[in-house]
Each structure stands twice: as C-alpha cells, then as structure tokens.
Amino acid sequence: MLAALSAGFLPLASYRLAHADTLAWYLYPLIVCALVFSAKSLAEWADKWCHDKVKAWAFTALLEGVMVLSPDPYLSGFGVGLLVSINMHSAYHKAQKKVKV
C-alpha cells in the first residue's frame, strides 16, 4: 500500500508544482524527475491494453504533457487524476508480486 501511495504522490506533486502561480527555476528538475519516474509505469500499463509500444509511449507523452502543460484546469485535473490512479494501480501490483505470501 505504501508503494501505491508513493507512486500516486509523484504526479500530484508535479501537477501542483507545474501549475503554481510562481515557479522557481530550481523546481523544474523535480517536475521532470516525477514525470520520468511515472512515464515507464504508464507506458507499461498502456502497452497492456493497446499492444503497441509506439501508441503506449504516445499516450504516455500526451497524458503527462497535458497534465503539466494544459492551461485548462479540467483537462489537466482529469489528467492528474487518471495518472495518479494508474500509478497507484501499477505500483500496488508490482509491489504485491515482490511480497512472498
């Protein structure tokens, strides 16, 4: 459960930082790190349902980009909600596989 909460925090943090009224230059690397961390899990998840790596990475770039760059609060807000859900689901299942019951 801790892995899921941690993975869900990262897109939320990058969303809030990217949409802050004032953004200091030294926060840009934090946003990029959160996006990079999330991108691999998102692309793996997308590849499972579209069965195409190019489509999966295009979906990943689109969702992450819209979440951070869209000025529309509904669009970027839906993006962050979707990304938090996918990251939490992915992290939970990956952590569950590593735990021996």
Give the lowest-confidence range in 19-23, 45-49, 81-85.
19-23
What's the mean pLDDT in 62-85? Answer: 95
- The pTM for the full model equals 0.85
- Alpha carbon distances (Å) from 29 to 20, 25, 32, 33: 15, 8, 5, 6
Contact between 63 and 82 under an 8 Å Cβ cutoff? The reply is yes
Sequence letter at residue 25: W
Segment 76-90 mean pLDDT: 94
pLDDT at 59 over 80: yes
The model's pLDDT over 19-44, given as tens digits with 9 standing for 90+, comes to 988 888 899 999 999 999 999 999 99
